[in-house]
Every structure is written in C-alpha cells, then in structure tokens.
A and B are shown apart, each in its own frame.
Chain A
C-alpha cells in the first residue's frame, strides 16, 4: 500500500514534495518531504474497512430477531478480527504518512533506507508491466472483497460461497436475461430509429459497375494525370511505402461548375481496381443532432472494412462544400492562385498565405520566391489581414453539430486498435492490443466553392493534393465539340470546330453539350436536319448572351447606339491583341442597350501596361466617338465605360506604375503612411485624369483614322441589329462575312451616303427636324443580298483577328 501511494518514487535524488511555505528555517525549503495527501487519500481505506465491518455486523443483526447490535458488534469483532486489524494497520500507515509530511528526516529515512530498495526493484519493471501487475492485484482484491460480502449475504463460508458462485450465477441467468430484454426493448427503439436514420447517402461501386474511363475526360489532361498518379499509389502502395513514403490520402478537385470534376471521379471509379464509395452531398445533414456523426462513423467503419478486404478504397464526396466549415481559422481562399500553388504553400509549413495571390492584387510571377522568408511572411501577413477584413464573417459555420469534426477525426485522428477480441479480450488477458492495421483510404472531394471548406480539412494528412479543374484546354474543347457534334448531323469543318473552341474559352463539357443541342433546335426550327455554321453561331449567341427582347429603338437613338458600339468595335479591332470580337449588337438584352463582346483567344496570365491602356482605349472609344460624331455631345450611356476606364487607370497607377510614380499607393494607404506626401507631390486624381486624357487623345486619333469603318459598322448594326465578330472583320477588311458583305462598304459611294445619313441623324438629334430622321439607306442590305453565298454559306477559312 505504501508503495503505490508514495508521492514520489525517485528516491532521494530529486526533491520529492513541495515545500511547506511558512517554515522559517532555510533548509526546510530544500529538504524533501512527502507531498501532502488529499483528504480522500487519507480516509479511503479507513472508510472501506469501516464500511466492511459495519456490513458484517449488520449482516449478523439482519434476519435474526434475537440479535442485538451490541452483541453482533462484539461477536464480529472476534470472528472478523482481521478487518479491525487491517483498520489498525491503516491508521498506523496514515500516521506514518502524516509524520512524513511533517518531518523531512523521518521521510528520508523511510523512503531511502527502508523502502528504497523495494522501490528501486519495482522500478525495474517497465510501466506496462507495473500497470498490469497493479491492475491484477486490484482485480484480485476486489474479487476477494466481493466473495466475502457475498458469502455473508448467503450465510455461507467463503469457500462454500466460492464454490457455489457459478451455480448461483447460473440460477441468476433468467433474471439477467429479463433485465437484458427490458434494456433491449427500451434502448432498442432508439437504436432502431437511429439505425434507419443513419442509412442512406452512401453507395459502393465496384469497377465493373462503371463504364467511364480516364479517356472520357477531355481537356483536363494535367489533372487526370495527377489523379492517375494517386490511384496508382493506392493500387501499388509498396511503390512508395517501401521507400519510406506514404500513400497520399486525399484529393480535392475544385473548379467552376461543369468542368468535369465528377466525371474525373467517375473515371477513377471506372479505372481503379478498388471499391469506390460515393457519398451524396447532404448525406450527413440530418434532422436530429448526432445522426450526422453516426453517419460519418458508419461510413468510415465501412471504408475501413472495405480497405482491409480489398487493400484500399476510394471515397468520393461530391459537392464537398456541404460539409460546411467552422468559420474562418485563417482566412480562406483568395481566388485563383492559391489553390494552384496551395499544395506548395502548405507543404512549406508556412502559413497558408505563404504565397499571397489574387488576380488584381500584388501577385508576382514567382510567388515571391525571390524574396527572403521574412519579407515573404510580412507580405503574407498583410495580405491575410486584408483578406480577413474583406471576407471576415462571410462564412457561417454549419458544422456545429459535430459532423465535420467527426469527419476530421476519422480522416486523420487516433487510429484505434481494431476488433472486440483485440481490444477487450487481449487487454483483459494483460496482452497489448495489436496495432491498428494500415487502412488505405483515398478521399476524393469535389467542390465549386473551395473557400467554404474548413481549413482543417485541407491540411496535408487529410487532403494532400488540391487540384484545380479549370476550364478545359483548347484541345479538350475541340474534342468535346467533336464528341457532341458526332452525335448529330452537321456540316461543320474541322476549322470551324476549332474556331468554335477558340471562341468559347470558358466552355465546359456541359455548356458545349448545351450549345450543340441549341444549334440542333435552331436547325429543326428552320426545318433542317443538318446543323450549319449559322446555327452554331446563333446557338452560341443565345447561350452566351441570352435572348434579346423585342424592344425597337427609335430611329435616332438606334443610330447613336449603333455608333457607340461601332466605336468600341473599331478601336478594339484596331488595337487589341489576343482577344477578338465575338459579337456586336444593338438589341436590348435586359437593361443593356447594346454591347460588343470579346473573347480571349489566348490563355494568358499577365497583362502588360500597354494592354491595359488598350483596354482603356476600348472603353473610352464610346465617349470619344459620340463626341466626335455628335459635335461634342455624348449620352449618359458612356458612364459604365468611363467607370471601367477610370478604375483600370487608377488601380494600375496605384499598383502597376502606370502613371508618373512607382510607389504602390494601395499599400501606402493600407498602412496609413505617405498618403499626404504622395498626394501633395503628385496628386493622385490629377495623375488619373492626365492619363485618361492622354489615352482619350489616342483613342480619338484611332477613330478619326477609321471614320469610314465606324460609319460602316454603324450602318451594318443598324441594319442587322446583331453581327458576329466575323462580320466585323469582314467590314473592317472589306471581305465577305457570314451576314454582311464588307466589300460593299468599300465602294466609293458609300461614304457620301453614310455621311449624309449621319448628318441628318445629328440634325434630328439637335432637334432641327421635328420629324424623325430619314430612312436608313438600303446599301448594306442590298450589298448583303448581292453576295451570293451570304446567308447560308460558310466563309472560306475564317481568319482570326490578329
């Protein structure tokens, strides 16, 4: 007894107990003493023995009408003398402890001289053996105590009671069964309810169930190859485990909707030799608290079982954002760059903002790798603060019922020993449970909203790989178009298909499928079986920009709108690189009177200052054009253009050295430094205005040099309402487009007619004519009609804008 509750067992080498404050003697502060025992420790054995004695006395009195308490006490103090003896021993022990707390000399004498050797011998056992021995002792003592009490209750000797115990237990079985039955009935109802509730939402597929293959995923080759790599390691774990690595456990596929994340997951299911578990989005949301947790637990129980049976398993969480998050730990995703470089940022062990990014922010070409770590950390911290300021509080925690936490621990938590035999029986027999086996579970998740995932979910060990499934590559889009076009009858040439792919850089499998279908609808509407290039273009317009409403502009407004859009188109056509005009229209869609749409034909990452200026020029073209053609007047329709021009110029002056200064104004404002000085030296507003005026002048120059083209496009837009980029090209270059024959606008007489018409429009605008402006000259339409191949035929090899 004294060995087990000794306060410190390290002998005299270390000062054992705490010193008793208040002792004046200086040596008392260093002299070892027993640590004061708690009241419970002082009294527990006394209480136990006292209770035992009280029990034997009471057992004697109970049921005997003649027995008095006094006699029972006297009789038992003779027959059960050993209880009192133990009681006395314990009192002595407590006195010994009490003295050890008071007197250091006494304490050291006993711990060192008397018990020291036994203690050191005891320390030779390792912790596990000591634990087992003490546990065995406790079990034996508790059993002996139980037998003693039992024997008294049944009024037999302890040996008779021991022998009779199995029989008594056997007799008690009906009672036990009754109670078990009662429990089963009471608890079983709940178990049954929750069992039913926790079913569903999880399906297991085997390779032969699924026909999708990696070859069916088009345009995502880089992601597919990385995913294949993970599946490879899952199937041949020894390849990496023999070399000291581990099988990556989690993949997150994120990206815009329709880009094939689920398709990739399906392909994994089709290609792998392992079972594939598909978890429905929302499988874990349940009506009752705790059911979600049960579902997670049962899911992972199933996964572990499958993993052991088949050597690995893949689980796929579709729309993983439904798993929720617990609010922001350290900000979230900041758009594009982070996830792309995410794995690298995580693996460096810095904070997740090791690479601060953001499309328009201080992004740098190499993720600041040219800076040292301190500078990087500082930049990252600033960035994080800004992100938090902007995004803070945006995310509600929806994992409040513990489902997410359960998922987190299941994905990377304590690995518990497996099986009842292993955990309970082996431990009861004093054996160590076998370590848990290696479960190879590949977790795949797909989401459109990675920023709504919990930060902890994305750490390595849970989700090791984060892949962006972006818009498909050009080759992928071509292949997708070809794939869907192969299912219908069409007369598109490969060049046209390629052009389609170029024109729709953000097309996904889903939108391509939809566009082809829309083209078929257009063709069927016209009573044709075969899809033409025109159908495709019309379908694209409908799908990309929506349906125009039936609004009919009044004639002079129509002219000004057409001119406005023509100016945009002309400047864009003359100055832009890498982007082509997709569509110009003066048909009203929603609240927009008309627009010129562009598409990027190159997948580029950075813009140059000169290209920003070109964008500003395109924006300002409407204002410059309206003022040029309407004698200095302009509509309020230029407001949006001016806004974007100003925004572009000011933000790039402040962060991309577009103006006279190099300083990043943005960061200066953030840190409240230098704002006054930079403004007093070179006022920011003046810089912006000067830059805008400079670009405005350039825009004017472009427009004056292209007066014929502006008027031609205006005419074409007024005539046709909507023209494609190819038509614009045809007008600009004087060739034949799909709708418009541009050659007619190059004819000598056109300018006179157009200028005349425009003059009348200006006069109408100024209110000189009370009647509306005169009829639109039919030249363009005549020209278009004159061209034999216009409406249906396809232009020869459409050339791109640049």
Chain B
C-alpha cells in the first residue's frame, strides 16, 4: 500500500557503448586522396583553349599558347555609336560575334589584319545576316568574302597566258586548296587556302566560310600569316581549322 513516486525522475541518459567508437579514418583517407588528385590535376595545364559561342553554336579549339579576345564586329566599323539608338546598337551587336585570334603571346588587336604577320592571326565570326543579305547570299559568294577569289584566279590565269614563266615564278595569287564543307544539320560552305602577293610579301590565308541550312547565319574562320609562317605553323592552323564545328541553334531562325 505504499505510495511511491519513484521513477518519475528521468534516468540519466545511457552512455555510448564501447563499440560505438568512431572510425573516421577511411573517410578522411579517401577525402585526402581526392583532394590530392584534384590538386595535382589542377596543376597540369590544358593543351588547348576553347573558343565557344554556345548561343549560336560555334566551337573552336585553339592551342593553349594562342590568345584570343572578343571584339566589335566589322558591321560596326565606321558606325558612330552616338548616331545609333542603343536598341539598334544592341541589336547589331547581338547579330555579330567576333573573336580575334592571335598566336602571339600577347593579343594585339591592332596587328590582327597585318598581312605579313610572323605568327598566325585571324578571327572567327558568327553573323546573323540581314534579310536582304540572306536572300542574296549563295555558296559561291562565300568564296569571295575576303578576297574575290574567282577574279584573282582569272587574273592569274591571264597573267600566265601573257607571261607564262614570270607569272608562274612570282604568282600574284595561288589557290592552294578549295574544298566544299558539309557539316551536320545542313551546315555547308567552303574551305579555301590561298596565297596572295602583297607589298609586304606573300601571305597565306586559310578561310572557312559556312552557312546554316537556311542560309541566314554566316560562320567564318579566317587565319592568315606570311607564307613563311604558314610553312612553319601550317599544322597548327590546319588543326584549328579542322576543329571549327558548328551546331546551329534555333537562335538564327
């Protein structure tokens, strides 16, 4: 009959059992290994740089030693921004994407189009054509965007006819390669390599001009340097040109 109130007080919490000793060593070891790997691989530099425009689907792989920089496109050359409405300017800029490429250690915007550059220089561009341009453009036109190749070929042939030896020894224009390019999704165009004689000497130009299926977007990669430079760096240039890949997006439509 004894009235007890024992057991109302909470008992002390049980101590953890000896078996529950922590064994964090494997975890830490794994973490350390992962960290080490990461640090080591971080030190190793990549051998390529990637110039990409995901919005328009233009991809290019250049040697890591090269430098590149985005720049205002040629469409804006000569336009005084003060005379253009900001919307217009933004619209124009969004229609054109240009990245200058320079194999030199320091990117030099001013010497980008110097014909006798000792190291490869050039640019890659994406241009959304204006409706008028899009209507007028043809695959043949792609050949003549930088130099009017067909005229130059005709002039050279004429010169050969007149002076077969002299013109062959010192040609003013020499078409080294002329091939059609067809990529996935209907991207098509031409790849030309040609030599042009200028006042500063012979210049070799490697030009890839592509259009998408609807011929509304122009993709162009142009690399140039002196003929001597080209014989030295032709492999590199070929590699860069070969990596030029287009994955058209619906932005161009």
Q: Are B16 and A18 in contact (CB under 8 A)?
A: yes
Give bound CA distance, A42 to B152, whole Å. 71
Least CB distance, B29 to chain A, in whole angstroms: 11
Q: Could you tell me which residues of chain B, from 41 to 72, have a CB within 8 Å of some CB in chain A?
A: 41-42, 44-48, 50, 52, 54-55, 59-61
- Complex interface: chain B residues within 8 A of A53 (CB): 38
Instruction: Provide the A91-118 mask, 1 if CB < 8 A to any CB of B, else 0.
Output: 1001100100100000000000000000
Which listed residue (A64, A71, A73, A87) contacts B35, Cβ 8 A? A87
* Minimum CB distance partner of B53 in chain A: A155
Q: Are A71 and B50 in contact (CB under 8 A)?
A: yes
B15 at the interface (CB under 8 A from A): yes
Q: Could you tell me which residues of chain B, from 2 to 45, have a CB within 8 Å of some CB in chain A?
A: 3, 15-18, 20-22, 24-25, 27-28, 31-32, 34-35, 38-39, 41-42, 44-45
- Complex interface: chain B residues within 8 A of A308 (CB): none
B79 at the interface (CB under 8 A from A): no
Top 9 closest pairs, chain A to chain B, by CB: A77-B42, A36-B22, A21-B18, A74-B46, A71-B46, A66-B61, A66-B59, A91-B35, A22-B18
Known: A18-B16, A64-B52. A95 touches B28 (CB 8 A): yes
Least CB distance, B47 to chain A, in whole angstroms: 8
Q: Are A64 and B59 in contact (CB under 8 A)?
A: yes
Q: Are B24 and A101 in contact (CB under 8 A)?
A: yes
* Minimum CB distance partner of A155 in chain B: B54
A420 at the interface (CB under 8 A from B): no
Could you list which residues of chain A lie within 8 angstroms of chain B, going by C-beta atoms?
18-22, 36-37, 39, 42-43, 46, 50, 53, 63-67, 70-71, 73-75, 77-78, 81, 84, 87-88, 91, 94-95, 98, 101, 155, 374, 377-378
Give bound CA distance, A21 to B17, whole Å. 8
Q: Are B42 and A42 in contact (CB under 8 A)?
A: no
Give bound CA distance, A66 to B53, whole Å. 12
Which listed residue (A37, A42, A66, A71) contacts B243, Cβ 8 A? A66
Known: A64-B54, A84-B38. A22 touches B21 (CB 8 A): yes
- Complex interface: chain A residues within 8 A of B31 (CB): 43, 46, 91, 94
Q: Are A64 and B41 in contact (CB under 8 A)?
A: no
- Complex interface: chain B residues within 8 A of A22 (CB): 18, 21
B169 at the interface (CB under 8 A from A): no
* Minimum CB distance partner of A78 in chain B: B42
Known: A88-B39, A94-B31, A377-B3. A42 touches B24 (CB 8 A): yes
Q: Are A98 and B24 in contact (CB under 8 A)?
A: yes
Q: Are B34 and A50 in contact (CB under 8 A)?
A: yes
Least CB distance, B222 to chain A, in whole angstroms: 19
Give bound CA distance, A70 to B48, whole Å. 11
B84 at the interface (CB under 8 A from A): no
Instruction: Provide the B212-253 mask, 1 if CB < 8 A to any CB of A, else 0.
Output: 000000000000000000000000000000010101000000
Give bound CA distance, A524 to B243, whole Å. 117
B1 at the interface (CB under 8 A from A): yes
Least CB distance, B178 to chain A, in whole angstroms: 25
Q: Are A74 and B41 in contact (CB under 8 A)?
A: yes
Give bound CA distance, A307 to B46, whole Å. 73
Q: Are A67 and B50 in contact (CB under 8 A)?
A: yes
Give bound CA distance, A64 to B245, whole Å. 9
Q: Are B44 and A74 in contact (CB under 8 A)?
A: yes
Q: Are A91 and B42 in contact (CB under 8 A)?
A: no
Q: Are A81 and B59 in contact (CB under 8 A)?
A: no
Least CB distance, A155 to chain B, in whole angstroms: 5
Q: Are B24 and A84 in contact (CB under 8 A)?
A: no
Q: Are A66 and B50 in contact (CB under 8 A)?
A: yes
- Complex interface: chain B residues within 8 A of A65 (CB): 59, 245, 247
- Complex interface: chain B residues within 8 A of A377 (CB): 3
- With A66-B61, A70-B46, A91-B31 given, name 15 new contacts (CB 8 A): A19-B15, A20-B21, A21-B18, A22-B21, A36-B24, A42-B28, A53-B38, A64-B54, A64-B59, A66-B245, A73-B41, A74-B41, A74-B44, A84-B42, A101-B24
- Complex interface: chain B residues within 8 A of A42 (CB): 24, 27-28
20 sampled A-B residue pairs with Cβ under 8 A:
A36-B21, A36-B24, A37-B24, A39-B24, A42-B24, A43-B27, A46-B34, A64-B59, A65-B245, A74-B45, A75-B50, A78-B45, A78-B46, A81-B42, A84-B38, A84-B39, A88-B35, A91-B28, A91-B31, A378-B1
Q: Are A77 and B245 in contact (CB under 8 A)?
A: no
Give bound CA distance, A19 to B60, whole Å. 61
Give bound CA distance, A63 to B57, whole Å. 8
Least CB distance, B4 to chain A, in whole angstroms: 13
Q: Are A374 and B3 in contact (CB under 8 A)?
A: yes
Known: A64-B50, A88-B35. A74 touches B18 (CB 8 A): no
* Minimum CB distance partner of B55 in chain A: A155
* Minimum CB distance partner of A36 in chain B: B22
Give bound CA distance, A378 to B1, whole Å. 8
Give bound CA distance, A95 to B41, whole Å. 22
- Complex interface: chain A residues within 8 A of B45 (CB): 74, 78
Least CB distance, B69 to chain A, in whole angstroms: 16
Give bound CA distance, A78 to B38, whole Å. 11
Residue picked from B3, B24, B52, B247, most chain A C-beta under 10 Å: B24
- Complex interface: chain B residues within 8 A of A64 (CB): 50, 52, 54, 59
Give bound CA distance, A95 to B247, whole Å. 47
Q: Are B54 and A74 in contact (CB under 8 A)?
A: no
Q: Are B27 and A39 in contact (CB under 8 A)?
A: yes
- Complex interface: chain A residues within 8 A of B61 (CB): 66
Q: Could you tell me which residues of chain B, from 166 to 203, have a CB within 8 Å of some CB in chain A?
A: none
Least CB distance, B32 to chain A, in whole angstroms: 6
- Complex interface: chain B residues within 8 A of A78 (CB): 42, 45-46
* Minimum CB distance partner of A90 in chain B: B31
Least CB distance, A469 to chain B, in whole angstroms: 37
* Minimum CB distance partner of B18 in chain A: A21
Give bound CA distance, A244 to B47, whole Å. 83
- Complex interface: chain B residues within 8 A of A95 (CB): 28
Least CB distance, B124 to chain A, in whole angstroms: 13
- Complex interface: chain B residues within 8 A of A46 (CB): 31, 34
* Minimum CB distance partner of A92 in chain B: B35
- Complex interface: chain A residues within 8 A of B60 (CB): 66
* Minimum CB distance partner of B51 in chain A: A66
Residue picked from B21, B31, B44, B60, most chain A C-beta under 10 Å: B31
Q: Are A74 and B42 in contact (CB under 8 A)?
A: yes
* Minimum CB distance partner of A50 in chain B: B34
Give bound CA distance, A726 to B18, whole Å. 92
- Complex interface: chain B residues within 8 A of A378 (CB): 1
Least CB distance, B13 to chain A, in whole angstroms: 10
- Complex interface: chain A residues within 8 A of B18 (CB): 21-22
- Complex interface: chain A residues within 8 A of B39 (CB): 84, 88
* Minimum CB distance partner of A20 in chain B: B21
Q: Are A101 and B22 in contact (CB under 8 A)?
A: yes
Give bound CA distance, A421 to B201, whole Å. 78
Q: Are B41 and A77 in contact (CB under 8 A)?
A: yes
Give bound CA distance, A424 to B88, whole Å. 45
* Minimum CB distance partner of B48 in chain A: A71
- Complex interface: chain A residues within 8 A of B52 (CB): 64, 66
Which listed residue (B28, B38, B41, B50) contacts A98, Cβ 8 A? B28
- Complex interface: chain B residues within 8 A of A39 (CB): 24, 27
- Complex interface: chain A residues within 8 A of B27 (CB): 39, 42-43, 94
* Minimum CB distance partner of A22 in chain B: B18
Give bound CA distance, A712 to B52, whole Å. 128
- Complex interface: chain B residues within 8 A of A101 (CB): 22, 24
Give bound CA distance, A289 to B157, whole Å. 95
Give bound CA distance, A95 to B44, whole Å. 26
Give bound CA distance, A20 to B243, whole Å. 62
- Complex interface: chain B residues within 8 A of A88 (CB): 35, 39
Least CB distance, A21 to chain B, in whole angstroms: 4
- Complex interface: chain A residues within 8 A of B1 (CB): 378
* Minimum CB distance partner of B38 in chain A: A84
* Minimum CB distance partner of B35 in chain A: A91
Give bound CA distance, A101 to B22, whole Å. 9
- Complex interface: chain B residues within 8 A of A75 (CB): 46, 50
Residue picked from B1, B28, B47, most chain A C-beta under 10 Å: B28
Least CB distance, A50 to chain B, in whole angstroms: 7
